[in-house]
Amino acid sequence: MRHLLGLLAAALVAAAPAAALACGGLFCNNAQPVNQAAERILFARDGDRTVMHVRLTWDGPPTEFGWLLPVPDDVEVGLSSEQLFTELDRLYAPIFTLTTEFEERCEFLARDASSGDAGAAGFPGAGDGGGGVQVLSRQAIGPFDTSVIKADDVVPLRQWLESNGYGIPEGTDALLVPYVEAGAAFVALRLLPDAESREVQPIRLTFTSDQPTVPIRPTAVAAEPDMGVIVHVLGQHRAIPENFLHVRINEAAIDWPGGGQNYPDVVSQAADEAGGQAFATDYAGGSNGLRGNLTIYDAPFIEQVRAARTFQQLEEILFRFQGDADMARVLPGVISGPDGFDPVDFLACPWCYDNERNAITVDGAALAMQIEEAINPPREDLLRLIGQHPYLTRLYSTLSSHEMTQDPLFAENPDLVPVSNQYNATQYIRCGSDGEPDFAGATIETASGLRFRLANGANPNVIQRQAGETVRGEGVPAARVIEQHLVAGQPMVQSDRTAEIADSMAGDDSGCDCDAADGSSPAAALALLAVLGLVRRRR
């Protein structure tokens, strides 16, 4: 049996690509893929050889990038596709959807939905009462410094944006006021200082091996705490971690009002509860959906690209590039302009360069060569592999250096059921005798039957981690089930705490048999949800 051998590896510095949003509106019922910062790998069998696609990323200057991975000596190295990993995240990352229900006597819902008034007046919970800005989150996502902010007035909102380096055009206030009054949050993006590291591209390794293996042990020399690892396996059946345990999470520890963004923390804590070496299954099911956006550019299109000499000529066919991560990577390298011209800034806002557009040139021949040599071939090979393997499994874990004592091995089990990446829960809005919503009585019920009460609009059971340690939710079980998967039959359950978790939360429900709310969302937003048809009235 030949596996990948751990020889020596430089630390991989990785940042997850920005997950594609599932909806573009202000109130989308918290349904969007969870962004898991992690190393990303895809395995597939190709005859007697294993194909391994690895997403390489780097958050520092390109001149300082270094990466080393131990592999068998018959390895063949080629290019992979950034679009592959974009699609894997878009299609198979976990999505947490919180559905809202109101009991029959919630008179305000019908009253305000019918009037079309989504304003915040008369509803408790709108704004923070402090006249300032709430920074709900701030993190690096792909090339962006990303902030989610909320304000109860447009003036402090604008002041925060200006003080954080955002240029605010005149007349913006009037456009923002309706959203502020409706209780909306805002996502603010700006490029991180090292965004030029875009040139780093995923690679493909092919080698003789009879089992997918991640050579994680050498990474321990410089691994960050809770380093994420996402393993995708194309195969005939569901993939399993053979020498690591498997966990099913406690869904009551998820930040449902926040869209489940703490999912990586819950999985990390669950793995620790399983001894530090365990994976969760994000998805297991059909692989055919992966084919959709792995576009193969045909010869006539490539000839159009080759003939382009100016950006205006290229612009006529740019619609074919929309949403293509590989094109986004190579385009800046083939566009030139006057002294001081920045192709990244230009592509982000071409219309901002109207006075210079005639001086912006394109090396169409170089771009055509990139398509022919670096974009199309990996995709053709991937589409062939997907056609041979009807099943895709996505497994997720985090590991700190002291937990990287053995390389995880993966096998298949034909007897296991599929796993959806869609997590669902319902929040019930309880209303008082006056028909107004009682946010203090909020309750959330998960699809697995766990039921708990929010505290001041937040889940008191939320688990959050920092630097490899649990900093919130200590004592809350993260693993609902810990088990050992086998290559056939059902898993051997080592611990099932479902009943224990349910019992521990029953006292928090205080006999509420009807209702719960996402108290972190203002009532104005709930009213607008009603207008948009995203909530249901419970009878």
pTM: 0.74
pLDDT tens track for 128-148: 322 377 776 565 544 345 566
Residues with Cβ within 8 Å of 136's Cβ and at least 6 positions away in sequence, in order, are 148, 149, 150, 185, 258
The DSSP 8-state label assigned to residue 223 in this structure reads P
103 phi/psi in degrees, rounded to 5: -75, 165
Which one has a higher pLDDT value, 36 or 235?
235
Bigger pLDDT: 536 vs 81: 81
Say which residue, 473 or 318, is predicted with more confidence: 473
Q: How far apart are the first and last CA of the chain?
A: 61
Residue with tokens 């055919």: 288
Mean pLDDT of the chain: 76
In this predicted structure, what is the pLDDT of residue 248? 98
Query: 315-332, pLDDT tens digit by residue?
Result: 777 777 778 999 988 898
Q: How many Å apart are CA 408 and CA 422, to the nearest integer?
A: 26
Model pLDDT, residue 466: 94
pLDDT at 501: 93
pLDDT at 507: 56
The answer to whether the Cα torsion of 90, 37, 390, 283 is positive or negative is negative
What is the DSSP code string of 236-268? SSEEEESSSEEEEE-GGGS-TTTTTTTHHHHHH
Would the pLDDT of 299 be above 90? Answer: yes
Backbone angles phi, psi at 83, to 5 degrees: -65, -30
Which element (helix H / strand E) includes 90? helix 82-92
Find residue 399's DSSP bridge partners. 227
Whole-number pLDDT of residue 114: 38
Give the three-class secondary structure for 178. helix
Mean pLDDT of the region 446-471? 91
Higher pLDDT, 458 or 111: 458
Q: 107-115 vs 523-532: helix axis angle to the nearest 10?
A: 70
Name which residue leads in pLDDT, 161 or 83.
83
For residue 494, pLDDT over 50 is answered with yes
Rounded mean pLDDT, 241-270? 95
User: Is residue 421 scored above 90 in pLDDT?
Assistant: yes
Under a CB-based contact definition with an 8 Å cutoff, are residues 485 and 240 in contact?
yes
14-50 residue pLDDT tens: 223 322 222 222 223 445 677 777 889 999 999 989 9
Per-residue pLDDT band for 198 (boundaries 50, 70, 90) equals low
> Which range has the worst mean pLDDT, 42-46, 256-260, 356-360?
356-360
Q: What is the pLDDT of residue 141?
A: 43
- Beta partners for residue 535, in sequence order: 100
**pLDDT at residue 495 is higher than 90:** yes
Query: CB-side exposure of 397: number of CA atoms within 13 Å?
Result: 27
| Model pLDDT, residue 158 | 74
pLDDT at 511: 36
- Per-residue pLDDT tens for 501-524? 999 886 554 433 333 333 333 333
Average pLDDT over residues 363-371: 94
Give CA–CA dist 106/124, Å, rounded: 14
DSSP 8-state class, residue 20: P
Dihedral over Cα of 232, 233, 234, 236: its sign: negative
Kindly state the percentage of the chain with pLDDT values over 70: 68
Rounded CA-CA distance 225/365 in Å is 45
